[in-house]
Amino acid sequence: MIILITLVCVVFFAFVFKKPLKKAPWLFYAIALILVVLFVGREWFDFPVYIARPIFYLMQKCTTAQALFVVVMYIGVFNEKSRIRSYLMPVRAELSILGCLMALGHIINYLTTFVPQIMGSASSLNNNIVISVFLAILLIILLVVLGVTSFSTVKRKMSAANWKRIQWLAYPFFLLTYVHILLFLLPSALRGADTALFSVAVYSVVFIGYLIARSAAAIASRRRKRALCAAQY
């Protein structure tokens, strides 16, 4: 349920805060970084429960970052004349950067807790964990590349062709994120854990739905180009 609530909240945020996010993106980036610091330092700060719990939910399982990435990717699915695409496209890069920043808490948390445990028992790891760790490393690399090149100052220093090639990495990043999630959730889901089953179902609808919608959009785009070429001749 937290996944759905987070996704709804992020969609609401994207529409309501579009103008301030475009006008003062660094303010939102600063807030995201503060949340990361609070989450990483939660063991040293004695936060009351009503503050600690929301920060935990925002960061622990990367739910907020994933929701931001979902919104970013789905913006590109809509037709170029769509009102939704026209309204949100100007802040697509800012939403992407926010997603990258919000993912830092999740990354740092697992690097400092999960990785030492893996290193201490490397010989007893099953294939599922090994693949998950490999994917996590690959996703971090893609996240850094996509996040850095999303900044307008970096984009202006790159050629349009090179920038576009790098941004195509968003597609494997998005799909590998789904695989990464499944590797962690499926074992529990297959054992009948209700929360894991629900999470797998929601993520599957979101990610597979995107794949179908993106494919349909690509086919429609090709048909329009063919029709335009035919009309010219």
Structure confidence by residue, pLDDT tens digits, 98-124: 999 999 988 888 877 766 666 666 555
For residue 82, give the DSSP letter.
Answer: -
Of the candidates 90, 76, 88, the one whose C-alpha atom is nearest the C-alpha of residue 11 is 88
DSSP string, 166-225: HHTTHHHHHHHHHHHHHHHHHHHHHTT-HHHHHHHHHHHHHHHHHHHHHHHHHHHHHHHH
- Taking alpha carbons only, the member of 13, 17, 20, 26 closest to residue 152 is 26
pTM of the model: 0.88
Give the pLDDT confidence score for residue 104 in this predicted structure. Answer: 92
Residue ranges covered by each domain of the chain: 2-232
Q: What angle do CA 63, 66, 71 make, to 5 degrees?
A: 125
SS3 133: helix
pLDDT tens digits for 135-179?
A: 888 999 999 999 999 998 999 898 888 998 999 999 999 999 999
8 A C-beta contact, residue 98 and residue 33: no
